[in-house]
Structure 1
Amino acid sequence: MSEQPAVLSKLLRARRNPVVVQSVRSTGAAVVSYVVALQLSNEPAPLTAPLTALLVVQVTLYATVTTSVRRVNSVVAGVLIAIGFSALVGLTWWSLGLIILASLLVGHVVRVDEFVPEVAISAMLVLGVTQVGATAWDRVLETVIGAVVGLLFNLLVAPPVWVEPASRAIDDLAARMAALMTGMVEELSGRTTVAEAASRLHEARRLDNDIAGVDAALRQAEDSLRMNPRVREGLVFRLVLRTGLDTLEICAVVLRVSARALTDLAKARTEEEPLFSPPVTRAVQDLFGHMALAVHSFSRLVTAQVSPNAEEQERRLTAELRMARRSRDLLADLLLDQVRGAPAQWQLHGALLADADRVLDELDVDKRSQRLLEELDRHSRLRYERGRRVREAVRRVRSGRPS
């Protein structure tokens, strides 16, 4: 009996999983488009319709609309090229080469983007049949059927919103950054070797690949919020996540510079000599520990969807930043005393303090709010400019009409 609730819970989670939802929607659109094409097309197996629906029903409504237009354009362009060639030449090796070249060039001219090969594919398939005219327009009809069914599926069966996967990706990135900060300073208690410091530097460099993956997930989430009737204030969600990732990306770059400074410090001293004195080591560990917690709280603040939770995360972030700044001031005093005894390393010590200042400044709550307001203002201005250009175009059209 206890297993049944667990199974039901898994089924409910799978039902809400964006991947499962997208797979079911794509399958349903392909089947419906095939059934419709069987009734309207003369082809015995109109597979172009389900293929088009499968490609058109993208992850988001915004991508579906733009993809539908480009795909229909690519098929129509290929069919028209095939009709023109069929009136002049038959199917030979040189005519095949000409039609492929012409189709690829036309595909770039009509700007169908990723569907440029589809222009050549449509032209070759139509040119290779006996009755070019009938088959050509059947292929256009099937393509239109698949595109229309795909659009209707996105309007009637709402596409999934990919904000939650993007939020998880941002949280995972922040967790890796926090773990790297903690690992960098945990080694300071012993005799940190150059190889150990260099391994942390390589780990910091690998964050660039992680950021690229998070950016891809965030672009998908941004597209899922556009033109989605289920989402209110989609622009705010998009800007919160995007500005949050921008901040973490800056912090990752600064973290890589800090790892570089620690590696250079490890190279600049003897094998038996520690990187810092015990008081400085404790201060560095305390500073980076609070910075790691601040990064974690910042990601939770960015991805929080419930207002009370966001307020709680903001309080935690403010507290961690306050303690981190106290640790930074203490570390500055201790490093100043150490630099007086070893002035040759003052640049590297100063670099660590400057890097800490930059991270704390980027994570600051007030700066985050200011950045969000600036982005909202910028998007409002862009929206106003687009509306103004549309209104001016309408007025010019109306003024040009005969009275």
Structure 2
Amino acid sequence: MPDVSEHIAGLARRGTEPVVVQTLRSTAAATLAYMAARWLTDVTAPLLAPLTALLVVQVTLFATITTGVRRVNAVVTGVLLASAFSAVVGLSWWSLGLLILAALTAGHLVRVSEFVPEVAISAMLVLGVTQVAETALDRVVETVIGAVVGLLFNLVFIPPVWVRSAGEDIEEQARRMRQLLIRLSEEADENDAPHNRLPDKLEEARRLDQDVAQVDASLTQAEESLRFNPRAKEPLLTRIVLRTGLDTLEVCAVILRTMSRNLSDLAARRTDEPLFPDDVAPAMRELLTNLAGAVDSFATVITSQVSSAADEAEAFLEVELDAARISREHVAKLLLARVQEHPKQWQWHGSLLAEVDRMLEELDIQKRSTNLAAELDRVSREEREQYPRLYRMRRRLERLQRRARRLRRARTS
């Protein structure tokens, strides 16, 4: 019975994944486009309508609005080219090659940007089914129907916001970093020589870079899902909080890799003794453990966004950072007292402390607030300059939403 419930819960979780949602949305939009084309035209099998709907329907509303016109332009251009070719030469190996060349060239001329290949794809598909529709006008009408259905589908059934999945990925990244720091702290407090185990920790730290790239892809999708989406609350602030937070974790991942390298090099030169003296090892373990807690708390702060939970997480992060700073000073004094015993190895001690300082600086709450404010100003300015009409439209929607909220509060009070 528990296995069945876990299986059902797993299916429910997968049902909310972006790939699953987009598959269902694309299927529904294409089917509706086909039905609409059958109803509005005399074409027996209007396959261009569902094809265009598939191309227009995007994961996010922002992508639909900004790329829908270029996609329609690409498809229409391909349809017109294929219509001309089918009327003159028909389908053969040389006409197909010539059609592809003409379609790709035309795609650059009509400035469809990244959708140039779709001009050729549409042209080939139309040329292959040229006997289905009788005139070029039929094919153009099918294309327009599919485009309209795709655009309306995303406007009526607004795509979801993927902030939660991106936040979970960020928290998972912070959890991996925290676990590595804890394992490094355990190695620092071991009585035997850890030179055989620390290279594995170094490889684990290097893999964190690949993990950051995966989280970045998830966050990019979440950022697009927030743009011009009426479901989103404070979209710009949410985007900037998550993006700047991931940037900080990425820097911390690089610092953590350098720290792992320093400890690995230090262990390689102490093959017959512990990594740190008996009086230094517990303090070093405490320092790395405090850093692990700070990284975890930082992830909670950025994923909680603007709420009471964020205030609590920020207070807890400040406690963790203060504890780490105190531990750092204690470790520095102990290592300085031991410098005479291993004078040639002080460079690794100094480098390790410098990396700790860098991580503490990156996680600092005041620095985060300053960077967040600067990034908010920069992104707002860029959006106004790049998408002035869409920006004005979004501002109008926000004003309408605020007015609606005030009316609801007035009615309930």
Q: Aligning the two structures, in what range does the TM-score lie when normalised by the shorter sequence?
A: 0.7 to 0.9
**Which range moved further: 297-306 or 247-256?**
297-306
Aligned to 1:236: 237
1:317-356 matches, cutoff 5 A: 317-356=317-356
CA contact (8 A) 2:107 2:116 kept: yes
Aligned to 2:410: none
Deviations 1:233-271 (A, max 9, x none): 2100000000000000000000000011111111122x2
Query: How many pairs were matched up?
Result: 388
CA contact (8 A) 1:126 1:136 kept: no
Aligned to 1:253: 254
Q: In 2, distance between residues paired with 1:22 and 1:82? A: 29
Aligned to 2:402: none
Aligned to 1:137: 137
The answer to whether structure 1 residue 51 and structure 2 residue 51 are counterparts is: yes
Aligned to 1:394: none
CA contact (8 A) 2:194 2:275 kept: no
Q: In 1, distance between residues paired with 2:171 and 2:243? A: 13
Q: In 1, distance between residues paired with 2:67 and 2:234? A: 24
TM-score scaled by structure 1?
0.87
Q: In 2, distance between residues paired with 1:10 and 1:207? A: 26
Q: In 1, distance between residues paired with 2:10 and 2:197? A: 43
Aligned to 2:222: 221
Change in Cα spacing, 1:107 to 1:292, as seen in structure 2 (3 Å) is: same
Deviation at 1:44, TM superposition (A): 1.4
CA contact (8 A) 1:126 1:135 kept: no
Aligned to 1:127: 127
CA contact (8 A) 2:29 2:150 kept: yes
What secondary structure does 1:278 align onto?
A: coil
Equivalent position amino acid for 1:248 in 2 = L
Q: In 1, distance between residues paired with 2:383 and 2:71? A: 28
What secondary structure does 2:272 align onto?
A: coil
Q: In 2, distance between residues paired with 1:361 and 1:231? A: 32
1:65-80 matches, cutoff 5 A: 65-80=65-80
Deviation at 1:8, TM superposition (A): 11
Deviations 1:132-176 (A, max 9, x none): 984433333222222211211221112100000000000000000
CA contact (8 A) 2:173 2:211 kept: yes
Deviation at 1:122, TM superposition (A): 2.3
Deviations 1:286-345 (A, max 9, x none): 111000000000000000046110110001000000000000000101111222221111
CA contact (8 A) 1:300 1:313 kept: yes
1:204-215 matches, cutoff 5 A: 204-215=205-216
Equivalent position amino acid for 1:107 in 2 = G
Aligned to 2:202: 201
Aligned to 1:161: 161
Q: In 2, distance between residues paired with 1:382 and 1:229? A: 21
Deviation at 1:117, TM superposition (A): 2.8
Change in Cα spacing, 1:71 to 1:383, as seen in structure 2 (3 Å) is: closer
Deviation at 1:230, TM superposition (A): 1.9
Q: In 2, distance between residues paired with 1:126 and 1:58? A: 22
CA contact (8 A) 1:83 1:133 kept: no
Q: In 2, distance between residues paired with 1:241 and 1:389? A: 26
Change in Cα spacing, 1:19 to 1:130, as seen in structure 2 (3 Å) is: closer
Deviation at 1:56, TM superposition (A): 2.2
Change in Cα spacing, 1:214 to 1:372, as seen in structure 2 (3 Å) is: same
The answer to whether structure 1 residue 262 and structure 2 residue 263 are counterparts is: yes
What secondary structure does 1:91 align onto?
A: coil
TM-score scaled by structure 2?
0.85
CA contact (8 A) 2:52 2:75 kept: no
CA contact (8 A) 2:194 2:274 kept: no
Change in Cα spacing, 1:19 to 1:119, as seen in structure 2 (3 Å) is: closer
CA contact (8 A) 1:22 1:160 kept: no
CA contact (8 A) 1:129 1:135 kept: no
CA contact (8 A) 1:18 1:161 kept: no
Deviation at 1:377, TM superposition (A): 1.7
Deviations 1:71-104 (A, max 9, x none): 2122122123234445654433222212112222
Q: In 1, distance between residues paired with 2:318 and 2:224? A: 32
**Which range moved further: 110-119 or 273-282?**
110-119
Deviations 1:336-379 (A, max 9, x none): 12222211111111110000000011001111100111011213
Deviation at 1:187, TM superposition (A): 1.9
Equivalent position amino acid for 1:307 in 2 = S
The answer to whether structure 1 residue 36 and structure 2 residue 36 are counterparts is: yes
Q: In 1, distance between residues paired with 2:96 and 2:6? A: 59
Change in Cα spacing, 1:79 to 1:9, as seen in structure 2 (3 Å) is: closer
Gaps in structure 1 of 5+ consecutive residues: 391-403
Aligned to 1:401: none
Deviation at 1:219, TM superposition (A): 0.6
Q: In 2, distance between residues paired with 1:108 and 1:388? A: 25
Change in Cα spacing, 1:385 to 1:133, as seen in structure 2 (3 Å) is: same
What secondary structure does 2:273 align onto?
A: coil
Deviation at 1:39, TM superposition (A): 1.5
CA contact (8 A) 2:30 2:50 kept: yes
The answer to whether structure 1 residue 91 and structure 2 residue 97 are counterparts is: no
Equivalent position amino acid for 1:146 in 2 = G
Deviation at 1:15, TM superposition (A): 7.6
Q: In 2, distance between residues paired with 1:62 and 1:389? A: 13
Q: In 1, distance between residues paired with 2:30 and 2:133? A: 25
Equivalent position amino acid for 2:353 in 1 = L
Change in Cα spacing, 1:235 to 1:132, as seen in structure 2 (3 Å) is: same
Q: In 2, distance between residues paired with 1:230 and 1:282? A: 50
Aligned to 1:381: 381
